[in-house]
Structure 1
Amino acid sequence: MNVLKRDMQLLKNSNDVVLARQKVRQWATELKFSLVDQTKLVTAASELARNALDHGKGGEMTMELLVNGSKSGLRLIFEDQGPGIADIQQALKDGFTTGNGMGLGLGGSKRLVNEFSIESEVGKGTKITVIRWK
């Protein structure tokens, strides 16, 4: 798997979340993702960026344009140095929330992408990597 292009977006405030969404949509459009796939990726990016801001006290999103053989895709990596997630399996369940949301964020984001991984350590932060293939 080769990374052809990389960009980073800090996630320090709500405007940064909007910028992250815009960048993801722009890259997905350039890759000629279908409108449905663009929407799925932007929705997942929005949720994960918001989580990094709200729960992780800010962080960053790295975007990578991937090529693997004949297929291309976008990898999004969200990292924060927040409190971490004590129980990842519980956090992935629909309805689980530590905030005021509906509790669809992590599990919903996982369903919107082709690949999803999460690493978290209490007191150190969280790293979530998602890939959507074209």
Structure 2
Amino acid sequence: MNKILWKPLWPAVFLSLLTFYAFFFKVPNPKSEWSIPHMDKVVHLGIFGALTFFYTFGIFQQHWSHKSRRNTMLLMVFACVVYGAITELIQHFIPYRSGDVYDFVVDTIGAVGGYVLGRLVIHFIVVPRLERNKKKSST
């Protein structure tokens, strides 16, 4: 069994709790000063993108095998997509909220995009820095 390092996962856990609060307990303001069309879609995209990005980055920092980390990252993407589906379904039954299929679609795009962005950052920025630091410390 792999030991879980919680510190790298705290940003993702915090964002998960924050989104839970926002989706279920915060009453939306219909007369917002920002009347940008489809702004809620941009927010959903950003929330789910950030959520999977932080989970991807936190999972990368675990001391697990490459295969275990990759499988866990993909499982987290799936979990975020399911989370998006459940939030939209539940919001359908809350009087001051409304569930929206398009929100779910954007949640899914955000989740996949956050994962892809996280993997790109890891591959092109984090890993090369780790390798440079390893070379410096060995010389």
Q: TM-score, normalised by structure 2?
A: 0.34
Work out which of the two has the higher radius of gyration on C-alpha atoms and give 1 or 2.
Answer: 2
Q: Which has the higher contact order (CA 8 A, sep 6+)?
A: 2
Structure number with the higher helix fraction is 2
Greater per-residue strand proportion = 1
TM-score, normalisation: structure 1: 0.35
